[in-house]
């Protein structure tokens, strides 16, 4: 059990039984037992120091790439979006905290005359999640930019890890159990502002034209297999538009599942499984989910 926070020490917003449908881009999911919005990084560290190390934690940014089951999350959600929001530029280095939106990093870095982060404009999440899964878009990957990672361990102590100390691969980053990402130092390059801003505009236009950006979704559902694309495989199985309950495979991009009719988390999870099984049966390829699924199923 959590040790009760001391009111005059904890400065953030602690809520109980908070519906995660309010905080996930799929707009569905059960309640979190505890939901904490820290006042800043020190406040988050203090909160973690008052938890038993066995307590479950869910590090949350913008809630994209995440499905919380209908039975909710029996633990502590650490809500970082706009809470850990420091963004500082020193020459060609950028310090960014985990709660800053990826698109904001792309925009502000470009305004400062730095290039290399433009692809982040196409990632609909916060930097903590992008760093945790090595998110990518339009040929760029988050860890191509990382010089140093800042994390908190389960006891709330801060550590700095160089890029060489962190194992990562396509859409995967290996951290010690219970560690959470709170920020990073990015290495960018001085470049042409006008050219970089045009690249962002082009990427955003391409995203709007090819992805269901106006619907409740969690981004790409499956990782691309080597030398192939999940969307191509799903479309080859004639699954565009396939529906389970209130969830359907997007007719605009087959690697997106949308909540277009009050879907439950169970509807979405069932559709993920159905797509996997169908692609395996028809194409002989096992699709691996990119989205994270947490929590308990509804009784």
Q: How far apart are CA 97 and CA 88, in angstroms?
A: 9
Q: What is the dihedral of CA 112, 118, 122, 128, to 10 degrees?
A: -70
Under DSSP, the state recorded for 145 is: S
| Angle between helix 193-210 and 102-111 (nearest 10) | 150
CB 106 within 8 A of CB 121: yes
Tell me, yes or no, if 220 is annotated catalytic. yes
Catalytic-role residue among 27, 86, 93, 171: 171
Question: Which residue from 277, 103, 83, 79 is spatially nearest to 204, judged by alpha carbons?
Answer: 103
Q: How far apart are CA 230 and CA 297, in angstroms?
A: 27
Q: How far apart are CA 279 and CA 261, in angstroms?
A: 24
Q: How far apart are CA 17 and CA 28, in angstroms?
A: 14
Catalytic-role residue among 21, 25, 64, 220: 220
Tell me, yes or no, if 290 is annotated catalytic. yes
Q: In the numeric block, which tokens belong to residue 116? A: 């290399």
Tell me, yes or no, if 141 is annotated catalytic. no
Catalytic site positions: 171, 220, 290
């Amino acid at each position: 059990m959590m040790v009760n926070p001391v009111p005059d020490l904890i400065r953030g917003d602690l809520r109980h039984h908070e519906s995660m449908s309010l905080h996930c881009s799929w707009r569905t999911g059960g309640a979190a037992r505890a939901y904490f919005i820290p006042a800043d990084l020190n406040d988050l560290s203090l909160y973690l120091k008052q938890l038993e190390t066995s307590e479950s934690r869910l590090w949350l940014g913008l809630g994209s790439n995440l499905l919380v089951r209908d039975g909710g999350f029996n633990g502590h959600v650490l809500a970082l979006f706009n809470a850990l929001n420091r963004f500082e530029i020193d020459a060609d280095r950028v310090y960014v905290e985990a709660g800053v939106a990826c698109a904001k990093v792309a925009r502000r870095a470009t305004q400062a005359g730095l290039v290399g982060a433009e692809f982040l404009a196409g990632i609909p999440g916060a930097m903590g999640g992008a760093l945790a899964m090595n998110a990518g878009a339009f040929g760029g990957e988050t860890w191509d930019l990382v010089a140093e990672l800042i994390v908190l361990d389960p006891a709330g102590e801060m550590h700095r890890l160089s890029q060489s100390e962190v194992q990562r691969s396509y859409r995967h980053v290996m951290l010690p159990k219970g560690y959470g990402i709170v920020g990073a130092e990015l290495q960018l390059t001085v470049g042409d502002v006008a050219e970089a801003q045009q690249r962002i505009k082009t990427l955003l236009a391409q995203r709007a034209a090819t992805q269901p950006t106006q619907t409740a979704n969690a981004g790409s559902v499956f990782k691309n297999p080597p030398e192939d694309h999940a969307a191509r495989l799903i479309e080859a199985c004639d699954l565009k538009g396939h529906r389970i309950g209130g969830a359907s495979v997007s007719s605009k991009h087959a690697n997106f599942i949308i909540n277009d009719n009050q879907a439950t988390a169970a509807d979405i999870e069932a559709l993920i499984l159905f797509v996997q099984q169908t692609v395996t049966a028809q194409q002989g390829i096992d699709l691996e989910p990119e989205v994270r699924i947490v929590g308990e199923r509804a009784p």
